[in-house]
Structure 1
Amino acid sequence: MNNFTKRTLGALAGVSVLAMSFSAAQAATWRYAFEEALTDVQGVYAQKFKEEVEANSDHEIQLFPFGTLGESADIMEQAQAGILQFVNQSPGFTGALIPEAQVFFVPYLLPTDQAHLARFYKESKAINEDFEELYAEQGLELLSMYPEGEVAMTTKDPVKTCEDLNEVKFRVMTNPLLVESYKAFGATPTPLPWGEVYGGLQTNIIQGQENPTFFLYSTKIYEVTDHITYAGHNNFTTALMANQDFYNSLSEEEQQVIEDAADAAYDHIVEYQKSLADEELAKIKEAKPEMTVTVLSEEERACFKEAAADVEAKFIEMTGESGKAILEQMKEDLAATAE
């Protein structure tokens, strides 16, 4: 073999190694944390997102359910710092970071009809344009917002009117507007991280909390409360976000894979939830037959709806013209997506 041939083969071998290295560099493991268990709504969404990304790219998604990387505040900080590429978090926790996101806690703004909600989250200008800009200001790329189900109150004593919440220490997320909501409802709002809620109810430090039905079952909150009340006042909203610097560093093709995965996961989770609340409520009743379940009548909801007007005014006071514009746009979007 002459020197020219040796040099040629050596160069080709170098190019081959370089190509292999480049290919390997392109395949990355992306970290994705969320606020619930793998079998809860956020976990089911995350698994579908992971499946879609991995089926359509060389990348791998590593999932971190609740507790593995800390509380909600911890995973948001990690996402903003770029330690996490993706984070799924309720506006209830991002409300301090993005005040306008508290709009999702204005009572009786969102409908209880799941089909209407599914259309609204997918088509809303407020969500898909206005909030996208607000999240971007915090270094976050908003990929999707989706509903997790009607919120129910669980308490030690029955609730039929606002008077029944008088002096009840009611756990709320660390969200200023949610605090105002339960003040208006007559309770004593008590912000607590989720990890402290079960023990707080068990030791009577708090006497109530709110969450979607599936979460009441999966977290066994029914074990330390005796009454479930549906007042129709809210629907739990959550959002998938990416670290913006990470997202902007991707190719257009990779960004499209992520967008498509978020869309597929959205459709999947909407379908998944159609009978979820009823199924999980049945499991609660089976596990604890003495649990009372009450759906408030329109008359019984009157005081809560009256309080909602005060909370809406408080939201505008907290967020100014920006919040007012978001609220008005959401109302327009809700009307446009109603049937």
Structure 2
Amino acid sequence: MRIKTLTAASLTALMLGAPAAMADTWRYAFEEALDEVQGVFAQKFKEEVEANSDHEVQLFPFGTLGESDNILEQTQSGILQFVNQSPGFTGALIPEAQVFLVPYLLPEDEQQLYSFFRDSEAINGIFPELYAEQGLELLTMYPEGEVMVTSNRPIAAPADFDDVKVRVMTNPLLVSSYQAFGATPTPLPWGEVYGGLQTGIIDGHENPAFFIESTRTFEVQEHITRLGHNNFTTALMANKDFFDGLSEEDQQLIRNATDAAFEHILEYQQGLTEASLEAIEAAKPSITVTTLSEEERAPFRATTEQVEATFLEIGGPRAQEVLDQMKADLEAAGS
């Protein structure tokens, strides 16, 4: 999502204060603005911690402390206590997390999706071990909304993606997915996306509707297409040394705040996609929003097996285990 360059001043300001490991002031960075989904989650987490303890949580929205890789590194080193980041960015560090980018793996049905994120053995059992190997305590994963594609030409079939440069996060599996769709995936920093759409460096991008609305990228696009291929996933992590060094009481405080923020963000998202699309259409009546039929989605859905094969090649030593468990969890969530 959005990224900016870390400045010396911001890093200096961040490091002033109590040591990270046992600080009463906990620092929490995320990839979006305060009024976007990750920001709403973070504010609820902060509210719960501060209402139930003497601790303070400082929030650092997108761009405050640098790019996504900067805030992850700062969390691993203990400068930050918490970071909210999507598997699209952590995939280089934890390749198994790229499973969330396999198209048509996550369900469209909202209740099945929420049940999966609450109860998944992959999320609650396997991934905490993988994150711990990188010095991170995985606190939760949660969905942010249906991913849609913006463009300046209508997209109804893979052939329509021919020569269309779609901006994606820098992630090999996401690149593979859009190549399978027939597009030209183009990794680009978020700060260059709006200008890139204006000048034709890129022709489109993918994001949830709320983010397309809040970042105003619809202003320089003519079409939004709902392929139904994914839901944007993100994760809240803590520095593991910090978390392990806390008292049992504070660890439980964090878990409780995480659970409260998780349920809050699922409730917050009720109707958010449709409301965002309505706001976009009101602001730009000429834009078209198209939901592909199941028949139109079929050739896109047919690429899933190809992308899964790529995931098994590049998804790390536990890729097969993760994929198999994800599928079992999704089946259980749908029953």
Q: Structure 2 length as normaliser, TM-score?
A: 0.92
Aligned to 1:238: 234
Which residues in structure 2 correspond to 1:63-102 (within 5 Å)? Answer: 63-102=59-98
How far off its partner does 1:143 sit? 0.3
Counterpart among 50, 57, 64 of residue 54 in structure 1: 50
Paired letter, 1:124: S
Counterpart among 98, 103, 128 of residue 99 in structure 2: 103
Aligned to 2:206: 210
Q: Is the 8 A contact 1:71 1:195 kept in 2?
A: no
Q: Is the 8 A contact 1:27 1:58 kept in 2?
A: no
Task: Give 3-state SS (helix, strand or coil) of 1:159's partner.
Answer: coil
Runs of 4 or more consecutive aligned structure 1 residues displaced over 2 Å after TM superposition? none
Paired letter, 2:325: Q
Deviations 1:176-197 (A, max 9, x none): 1000000111111111121111
Which residues in structure 2 correspond to 1:29-48 (within 5 Å)? Answer: 29-48=25-44
Aligned to 1:300: 296
How far off its partner does 1:26 sit? 7.1
Which residues in structure 2 correspond to 1:244-263 (within 5 Å)? Answer: 244-263=240-259
Task: Give 3-state SS (helix, strand or coil) of 1:157's partner.
Answer: coil
Aligned to 1:227: 223
Counterpart among 128, 131, 145 of residue 127 in structure 2: 131
Aligned to 1:198: 194
Query: Number of matched residues?
Result: 315
Task: Give 3-state SS (helix, strand or coil) of 1:33's partner.
Answer: strand
How far off its partner does 1:319 sit? 2.5
Pick the structure with greater CA Rg. Answer: 1
Aligned to 1:310: 306
Deviations 1:257-279 (A, max 9, x none): 00000000000000110111111
Distance (whole Å) between structure 2 residues aligned to residue 321 and residue 31 of structure 1: 32
Aligned to 2:168: 172
Aligned to 2:9: none
Ranges in structure 2 where 5+ consecutive residues have no aligned partner: 1-20
Counterpart among 315, 328, 334 of residue 332 in structure 1: 328
Task: Give 3-state SS (helix, strand or coil) of 1:284's partner.
Answer: helix
Question: Which stretch shifts more, 301-310 or 49-58?
Answer: 301-310
Distance (whole Å) between structure 2 residues aligned to residue 180 and residue 332 of structure 1: 24
Ranges in structure 1 where 5+ consecutive residues have no aligned partner: 1-24
Distance (whole Å) between structure 2 residues aligned to residue 189 and residue 310 of structure 1: 16
Paired letter, 2:277: L
Which structure's residues are more often helix, by fraction?
1
How far off its partner does 1:167 sit? 1.1
Superposition RMSD on alpha carbons, in Å?
1.2
Task: Give 3-state SS (helix, strand or coil) of 1:83's partner.
Answer: coil
